[in-house]
Structure 1
Amino acid sequence: MAKTAVIVLADNESHADYGRLANALETAKEFAETESDEVKLIFDGAGTQWIPELEDESSDYHELYQTVREDTAVCDFCAGAFGVDDAVEDAGVVTLDDHDGHPSIRSLVDDDYEIITF
């Protein structure tokens, strides 16, 4: 059994950023499809800007995102800092604020999660 946290830090401005997102979603999906694994997909920093796009049904990545949406969370502080807090709230995506308004990476490590960043 693997416990993995996939963290998306990539912005949404370049072709390379879209590649990082696709790889993060595919990685999270692979863990989600393995019944004995636990996965958390966390959008942090500039990565929080992906939520409005991924929630849009016309997005190229919407379907892939839907396969891992129930395992998805967003940094509360960064959603506000990057101006997507209303979109995150409207989408009903869980926000994390365990450590000074941010997700606690230390808690994930303490809970034996492998951390993968994109």
Structure 2
Amino acid sequence: MKISLLVFSYEKDGAPMNTLMFHVLLFAKELKEKGEDVKILFEGEGVQWAKELTNPEHPFNKHVEYLKDNFVACEACSSMHGILDDIIGKVAIENDLHGHISLKKYLDDGGKVVEF
């Protein structure tokens, strides 16, 4: 099964939503370990996670190493948030829908998208 975890959120009350992101990583790891085709899609302000999680000093780094090949960031949103140059070469960048990630691509062939 193809499952995409779509992350739009980054901050709440001025602080990163670490609990939310930890659970996204936890769910993605479980799915990948069980042989599912999983992607973590970063859109909107959620693209800031792509920069933060690729920092080797981030506390979630041990989880990220296993999953970073499953990360996909929106090019338009990464540019708008000023992080595109920081994540190029570290995560996949997509721009199929007017600069954004195309969800259709991930829904084709029965894929599922879960939004966070």
**Same fold (TM > 0.5):** yes
Letter in 2 for 1:55: T
Aligned equivalent of 2:19: 19
Cα shift readout 1:27-62 (whole Å, capped 9, x = no counterpart): 111111112x11111111101111222112221111
What is the deviation of 1:112? 1.6
Q: Once the 2 structures are TM-superposed, how far is the Cα of residue 11 of structure 1 from its aligned partner?
A: 1.2
AA aligned opposite 1:78: C
Percent pairwise identity: 25
**Do the aligned partners of 1:51 and 1:87 also contact (CA within 8 Å) in 2?**
no
Structure 1 unmatched runs, 5+: none
The match for 1:7 is 6
TM-aligned CA deviation for residue 22 of structure 1: 0.8
Deviations 1:89-113 (A, max 9, x none): 1x43110111111111122112321
Q: Give, as a single letter, the amino acid of the residue that structure 2 aligns with 1:65.
A: V
Aligned-partner SS, 1:106: helix
Decide whether the 8 Å contact of 1:7 with 1:116 is kept in 2. Answer: yes
User: TM (normalized to structure 2)?
Assistant: 0.89
| Alignment partners' CA distance in 2, 1:48 and 1:26 | 18
Say whether the 8 Å CA contact 1:7–1:24 is kept in structure 2.
no
- TM-score where L is the length of structure 1: 0.88
Structure-to-structure mapping, 1:1-118, within 5 angstroms: 2-12=1-11, 13-14=14-15, 17-35=17-35, 37-89=36-88, 91-118=89-116
The runs of 4+ residues in structure 1 deviating greater than 3 Å are none
Alignment check: 8 A CA contact 2:54 2:90 kept: no
Instruction: Tell me the matched-pair count.
Output: 114
SS in 1 for 2:110: coil
The answer on whether the counterparts of 1:22 and 1:61 sit within 8 Å (CA) in structure 2 is yes
